[in-house]
Structure 1
Amino acid sequence: MSTIDLNADLGEGFGRWRLTDDEQLLSVVTSANVACGFHAGDPVTMRRVCELAAERGVTIGAQVSYRDLAGFGRRAMDVPPAELAAEVAYQIGALEVFARAAGARVAYVKPHGALYNRVVHDERQAAAVVDGVLLADATLPVLGLPGSRLLALAGKAGLPAVPEAFADRAYTEQGTLVPRSEDGAVVTDPDAVVERSVRLARTGTVTSRAGSSLAVRARSLCLHGDTPGAVELARRVRRGLEESGVQVEAFV
C-alpha cells in the first residue's frame, strides 16, 4: 500500500484576522505547517493551533519565512545569511514553546512562500536556513521541493531531507512551482486537485503546465490552507487518496 503525509499551512492569522480554518483542517491533515509570526501568526494563534494539533494527534511543523507580515512572506527579499539563520532559529524556538506546552513538539521545519522558492536554487539562502535549523535542533527534518538546494544541503548537514509535492500548484517543465504572479499557478478545479493527489501518491508523477509528465517522488503532499474552500477540498483529497488505496499518515 502506498503511504503519504498530508500537510497544510495553518495558523495564518494575526490578531483579529484569521485566514485559515485551523480547527476543520486539523480534522483532515496529518501534519500542520504552523506560521511562526514572520509572515503570519501571533503568540495566541500559535498556542491555539498547537493545542488543537496535539489534541488530534497532528504532527506540528514550524513554517518559517522571511520577516514580511505585510506581504504574507511572498515578496522577494535578500536577507544576510547570518541574520536569516538567526531568524529561522528564532521562529522554531517560539513555536517550540507552545508545542511543548501542549504536550507535543516541533517535529519538522518547512520554509514558506518566497523563502521556499528562493532556497530551491539559492545556495547561500538555503545554507542559512539549514544553519538556522541546526541552531534550533540538529535532529529536525526539513520539508522542501525535490531537487532543491535546501534538501541537498540539509542532507549533507545530517538533517532528514523530506521531499514534498503540491496537489494545488502548477509545475514548470523544470519541476519547480509556477510563480503565483503567473496565470494558472494555482490549480482551482477540485476534481483536478484530487486526481493529481492520487497520481502523485501512487505513481510519483505530475503533469507540468506544458503537459509533460514529471517525476516528483514525495513523502508529503501539501494543500494550501488559504485556498478558497480549503476544508472541503482537503476532505475530498483525503477521501480520494484512501479510496484509491493510499494510506494517509504523518511522515514523522
Structure 2
Amino acid sequence: MDLNSDLGEGFGAWRLGDDDAMLDVVSSANVACGFHAGDPRSLLATCARAVTRGVAIGAQVGYRDLAGFGRRFIDYDRADLVADLIYQLGALDGLARAAGGRVRYVKPHGALYNTIVHHEQQAAAVVEAVRRYDPALPVLGLPGSVFLERAAAAGLGTVREAFADRGYRPDGSLVPRGEPGALLHDPDEVAARMLRLVTRGTLVAADGTVLTMAADSICVHGDTPDAVTLARAVHGALTGAGVPITAFAGAGS
C-alpha cells in the first residue's frame, strides 16, 4: 500500500506541517506547485529531501488561490485551467529534476480535487493537461469519480485514493471541511479505519453506513493537527499486519 501526504505547503517565512518528519513515514509526497501553497525555494528543498529519503514526488496541482489555500471553487474557463495546470506541472518537474528526481504522478488539490469528482468540464481539463504534459504520469483521485473515469478512458494510469484523516458521506464523497465529522484526529481510530479498509475493503461513513471501497494509496493531510502522529499510526498498523508501504509510482531518478 502507498502512503502519501501533502507537503511543501508553507510559503516564505510561514511553515505548515512537519515535512521532514513526514518524509520518514510516507512513500509518496504530493508536493505543492506554488498556486495554492509553496514558494520555489521551499519546494526545491522539499523535492531534494524527498529524493534523499527515496520518496516518490507527485505534483499537487490546484487552483490559483494562495489566500484560500486552494480550497475555494473557481469557475475557470477550460483553456485557462489547462494552461494553469501545465504551468504547475512544468514548474515542479523542473525543481524536482534539479533536485535529482522528477515528478512521477499528479494529484489535484483541495477544491479542484473535490470539484472533479462530479464536474465533467473541469475533470476533462485536468485530464487534458496531464496528457499534454506527460501521458505516462498516473493520477490520484477519489474512487468512482468522474475524473478517474475520464482519465482511464484517455489512457492515463489511475490510482484510487482513500483519506485516513477525513470523514466520508454515504455516497463515498468526503464530508466537507467545516461540517461535523469532516476531520478525524484520534490516531488509534484512524489506524483501525485504514487497516479495515486495506484488509476488508470497507469503511464506515459519518452516518454509520458501511461503504465498500478499494484504494491503492492512503493520504494523511500534512496540515492536519498531529499529522505525523496519524501517519505513523497508519504506517504501524499496516506494516504490523504484514502490509508493506511502498510507492505506487517508484522513486528513482
TM-score by length of 1: 0.97
Which aligned pairs between 1:1-252 and structure 2 lie closer than 5 A? Answer: 4-252=1-249
In 1, the alpha carbon distance for the partners of 2:162 and 2:228 equals: 19
The unaligned stretches of length 5 or more in structure 1 are none
Contact 2:186-2:230 at 8 Å conserved across structures: no
Root-mean-square deviation (Å): 0.8
Matched AA of 1:216 = M
In 1, the alpha carbon distance for the partners of 2:127 and 2:178 equals: 27
The unaligned stretches of length 5 or more in structure 2 are none
TM-score by length of 2: 0.97
In 1, the alpha carbon distance for the partners of 2:94 and 2:19 equals: 19
In 1, the alpha carbon distance for the partners of 2:6 and 2:17 equals: 8
Matched AA of 1:203 = R
3-state DSSP class of the match of 1:13? coil
3-state DSSP class of the match of 1:246? coil
The answer to which of 6-15 and 188-197 deviates more is 188-197
Instruction: Measure how far apart 1:201 and its partner are.
Output: 1.4
Contact 2:4-2:220 at 8 Å conserved across structures: yes
In 1, the alpha carbon distance for the partners of 2:51 and 2:191 equals: 27
Instruction: Measure how far apart 1:233 and its partner are.
Output: 1.7
In 2, the alpha carbon distance for the partners of 1:180 and 1:77 equals: 17
Figure out how many residues of one structure are paired with residues of the other and give that number. 249
Query: Between Structure 1 and Structure 2, which shows a larger proportion of strand residues?
Result: 1
In 2, the alpha carbon distance for the partners of 1:247 and 1:54 equals: 20
In 2, the alpha carbon distance for the partners of 1:148 and 1:58 equals: 26
3-state DSSP class of the match of 1:111? coil
Instruction: Measure how far apart 1:98 and its partner are.
Output: 1.1
Matched AA of 2:84 = E
Query: What is the percentage of aligned positions where both structures have the same residue?
Result: 59
In 1, the alpha carbon distance for the partners of 2:152 and 2:83 equals: 20
Instruction: Measure how far apart 1:37 and its partner are.
Output: 0.4
3-state DSSP class of the match of 2:116? helix
In 1, the alpha carbon distance for the partners of 2:80 and 2:131 equals: 14
Structure 1 stretches of 4+ moved >4 Å: none
3-state DSSP class of the match of 2:125? helix
Instruction: Measure how far apart 1:181 and its partner are.
Output: 2.5
In 2, the alpha carbon distance for the partners of 1:71 and 1:183 equals: 21
In 1, the alpha carbon distance for the partners of 2:212 and 2:87 equals: 35
3-state DSSP class of the match of 2:150? helix
Alignment deviations for residues 13-64 of structure 1 (CA, whole Å, 9 cap, x no partner) = 0010010211110000000000000110010111001000000100000000
Matched AA of 2:133 = A
Contact 2:185-2:230 at 8 Å conserved across structures: no
3-state DSSP class of the match of 1:32? strand
Matched AA of 2:203 = V
